[in-house]
Amino acid sequence: MTRIRALIVDDEPLAREGVRNLLQKDPQVEIVGECSDGVQAIETIRATKPDLVLLDIQMPEVGGFEVIEGVGVEEMPAVIFVTAYDKYALEAFQVHALDYVLKPIDPERFARALIHAREMIGMRSTGEISLKLSALLQGLQRSPRYLERIMVKGTGRIYFLRTDEVDWIEADGDYVRIHAQGKSHTIRERISTLEEKLNPAQFGRIHRSTIVNLNRIREIQPLFSGEHVVTFHDGRKLTLSRSYREKLLALLNRAG
């Protein structure tokens, strides 16, 4: 049996380690490299031309779908998507018969995906992979892609927050602090990037450094100088800046 040359792409070291451990159990798989971001992945795929890419979707700046666009569907190897992504993307994978595994990865599910990947690699010369990836990207462009879970790196583990559990989010440079159910979680993500991934029917900006879950708002009261105070169901109060007032009210009207 021909050996598969595999490349691991994920911005989380623990996630890369998990995929690496699973791949190393298969003697017919050779790991040709690991990439921690999308830009590095595009360059490495072009340079090493692996047979298979284990590709994370949610990466800062350049995500998995952008990697495919950057490499080009004609040059892209077979892909197993490794993701904590929302239902729209998962439905798209199923429609186009592309394989994926959800984080945290189930070893049995991973083994089945690897079997499917071998079949896809065998069809490489027919252009089947290119057609599937092209159809996937076109389908995702027509569908909203909003997060349903947010991956959080803890001490020696990775866990997930459902977006409907989130109360509010605040910026801290290249990081954000996510407040949910009385706890705070820090992830490496700029607030503007995270905002694009959140459903605008559920989340809105009230300040350049603050995003709130619209379902948590109890009332809005005016302050001086055009600012307002937003009161949550748990009594927490946050400032709504003047520049975000009209947009927030429009979001609340649509949500209501």
| pLDDT band (50, 70, 90) for residue 89 | low
| pLDDT band (50, 70, 90) for residue 145 | low
Task: Please report, for the chain, the start and end positions of each structural domain, with discontinuous segments joined by +.
Answer: 4-142, 149-255
The CATH number of domain 149-255 is 3.50.50.60: no
Q: What is the structure's pLDDT at 113?
A: 92
β-pair type (99-102, 78-83)? parallel
**Which pLDDT tens digit goes with each residue over 130-144?**
888 888 888 776 555
125 Cβ contact list (under 8 Å, min separation 6): none
Could you please state the CATH topology (level 3) that the domain comprising 4-142 is classified under.
Rossmann fold (3.40.50)
| Strand ordering across the sheet containing 52-56 | 29-35, 4-9, 52-56, 78-83, 99-102
β-pair type (210-213, 149-154)? unpaired
* pLDDT above 90: percentage of residues in the chain: 43
The answer to whether the 4-142 and 149-255 domains have the same CATH topology is no
